[in-house]
């Protein structure tokens, strides 16, 4: 990451990340397709109504894993083996603790959270059941994500992809067995998800355990080192808060969709799953930007850090604009994979019309905070993202939407909030970059 040309390395690093995210969503899409085709639109709506809530519950801890990624990448690039090892063991211990906390939180608060969101009575029992089973797999989910973050920090994105393929195929097979053969509906897809998360967790922990480098995992050494935990939190907590608050705004948007009934909820579920493919594609570039920036920050290569961001902007635009156009022009055909109900499809098309082609704005919006986190600066971009993205959507949902009640108007808030946030983040990056370069030159 610290020498030679950048673009080809960015592509080879981000492609497995991109494929991992796409495959994960494809397997999740199998969940939604199976339950939608074989259990009906209410079951489809039940699974979809939990998406934003699950993200709110989990994204704080997933954001903290970015802090582990940044710190591990910095120590690995600078050859600090002891610090690298202690960071790995602190991160994995944190993952286990946070996974157990999330499991209990999901079991206790799932129904209350769904009631607050205004989930319809004909859906809420199935939604609660799905969430409670899903959250039982949180320890597996957290351990996989933190373990994969360590592997990405050392430049390995291929093995997490391989593990995801194995667990995803298992997920798809178990889901079809439990839903189609045993008619278990939403419970079947939730159980399949938990089992597949357990498989991916075991594979990534085994990989770290068998490694010979400074990131080797020894279960007897699992502990929390306060010094490294503070540094992980310094980058990770702002990233996690940013992601959590943005997903709270998405949950508010889900509540607005819920007010249109189960047909609109099902349409949003299908469209949101397609939308997710765009997100994981540009997020792979953002993750690459953060890892490359962090390693180059560790060896004080400031000009290379600038080139990393520029190449990432080019790559993110190319990927997101291509996929966004494809999702828009083939939207009706893609939606038919999820449901045959024409009303559900029409709702999905309305949503895709305003969220797909301009998605390159979201990619650029996320890249700048990714670069700043790679430099160890995470607080200010968090605040600006909350103001620009969440603030805009709250004003839109509570101030403008009640006077223009339609799905189309509701989802125009997406591109509007992206553009406002980009402007704020560019201004932030200019001043932070100037300060960071000055600090490095004076070292």
CB 370 within 8 A of CB 382: no
Rounded CA-CA distance 24/67 in Å is 22
Dig out the tokens for 238 from the structure. 């702002």
3 state SS of 49: coil
Contact present, 117 and 253 (Cβ < 8 Å) = no
Among the residue ranges 64-68, 192-196, 224-228, the one predicted with the least confidence is 64-68
pLDDT, residue 350, reads 84
Closest CA to 61 of 149, 153, 165, 191: 149
- DSSP letters, 149-178, are HHHHHTT--HHHHHHHHHHHHHHHHHHHII
Q: How far apart are CA 65 and CA 89, in angstroms?
A: 13
pLDDT > 70: percent of the chain: 94
pLDDT in tens, 149-191: 899 888 887 888 889 889 888 888 888 888 888 888 788 888 9
Which of 255, 304, 287, 309 shows the shortest CA–CA distance to 120? Answer: 255
The Cα 205–Cα 218 span in angstroms is: 10
- How does DSSP classify residue 398? I
pTM for this entry: 0.75
3-state secondary structure of 74: helix
Of 284, 221, 240, give the one whose Cα is nearest residue 87. Answer: 221
Tens digits of residue pLDDT in 307-352? 888 999 999 899 889 988 888 888 888 888 777 788 888 888 888 8
CA-CA-CA-CA torsion sign (53, 283, 274, 324): positive
Degrees to nearest 5, angle at CA 424 with 419 and 428: 145
The phi and psi torsions of 198 (rounded to 5 degrees) equal: -65, -40
Q: What is the Cα–Cα distance from 371 to 375, expressed in whole angstroms?
A: 7
3-class DSSP state of 213: coil
Name the DSSP class of 300. Answer: T
pLDDT tens profile 113-157: 888 877 778 788 888 998 899 999 999 989 998 998 899 888 887
Report the chain's C-alpha Rg in angstroms.
21
For the stretch 230-254, pLDDT in tens is 988 887 888 777 777 777 777 777 7
Mean pLDDT of 198-210: 93
- Measured CA to CA in angstroms, residue 205 lies from 90, 92, 199, 209, 217 at distances of 14, 9, 10, 6, 8
Tell me which residue has tokens 């355990």: 209
Band of residue 443 on the pLDDT scale cut at 50, 70, 90: low
Q: What is the pLDDT of residue 142?
A: 92
Retrieve residue 66's tokens.
Answer: 């970015």
How many residues comprise the chain? 443
205 contacts 145 by C-beta, under 8 angstroms: no
């Amino acid at each position: 990451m610290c020498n030679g040309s950048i673009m080809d390395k960015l592509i080879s690093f981000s492609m497995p990340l991109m494929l991992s995210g796409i495959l994960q969503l494809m397997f999740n899409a199998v969940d939604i397709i199976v339950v939608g085709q074989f259990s009906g639109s209410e079951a489809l709506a039940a699974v979809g109504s939990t998406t934003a809530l699950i993200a709110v519950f989990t994204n704080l801890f997933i954001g903290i894993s970015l802090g582990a990624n940044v710190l591990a990448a910095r120590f690995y690039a600078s050859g600090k083996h002891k610090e690298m090892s202690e960071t790995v063991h602190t991160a994995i211990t944190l993952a286990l603790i946070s996974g157990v906390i999330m499991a209990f939180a999901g079991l206790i608060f799932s129904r209350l959270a769904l009631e607050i969101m205004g989930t319809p009575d004909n859906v809420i029992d199935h939604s609660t059941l799905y969430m409670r089973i899903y959250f039982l797999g949180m320890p597996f989910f957290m351990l996989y994500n933190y373990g994969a973050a360590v592997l990405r920090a050392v430049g390995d994105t291929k093995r997490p992809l391989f593990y995801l393929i194995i667990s995803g195929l298992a997920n798809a097979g178990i889901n079809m067995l439990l839903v189609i053969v045993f008619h278990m509906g939403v419970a079947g897809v939730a159980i399949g998800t938990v089992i597949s998360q357990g498989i991916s967790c075991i594979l990534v922990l085994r990989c770290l355990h068998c490694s010979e480098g400074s990131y080797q995992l020894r279960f007897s050494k699992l502990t929390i080192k306060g010094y490294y935990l503070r540094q992980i939190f310094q980058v990770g907590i702002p990233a996690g808060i940013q992601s959590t608050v943005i997903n709270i705004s998405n949950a508010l948007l889900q509540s607005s969709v819920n007010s249109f009934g189960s047909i609109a909820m099902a349409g949003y579920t299908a469209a949101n799953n397609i939308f997710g493919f765009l997100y994981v594609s540009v997020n792979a570039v953002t993750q690459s930007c953060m890892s490359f920036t962090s390693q180059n920050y560790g060896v004080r290569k400031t000009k290379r850090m600038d080139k990393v961001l520029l190449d990432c902007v080019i790559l993110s635009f190319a990927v997101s604009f291509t996929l966004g156009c494809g999702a828009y022009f083939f939207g009706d055909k893609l939606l038919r994979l999820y449901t045959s109900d024409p009303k559900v499809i029409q709702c999905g098309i309305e949503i895709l019309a305003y969220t797909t082609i301009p998605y390159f704005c979201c990619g650029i919006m996320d890249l700048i905070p990714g670069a700043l986190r790679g430099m160890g600066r995470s607080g200010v971009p968090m605040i600006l993202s909350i103001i620009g993205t969440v603030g805009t959507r709250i004003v839109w949902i509570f101030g403008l939407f009640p006077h223009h009640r339609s799905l189309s108007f509701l989802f125009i808030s997406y591109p509007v909030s992206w553009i406002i946030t980009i402007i704020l983040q560019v201004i932030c990056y200019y001043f932070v970059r100037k300060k960071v370069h000055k600090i490095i030159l004076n070292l």
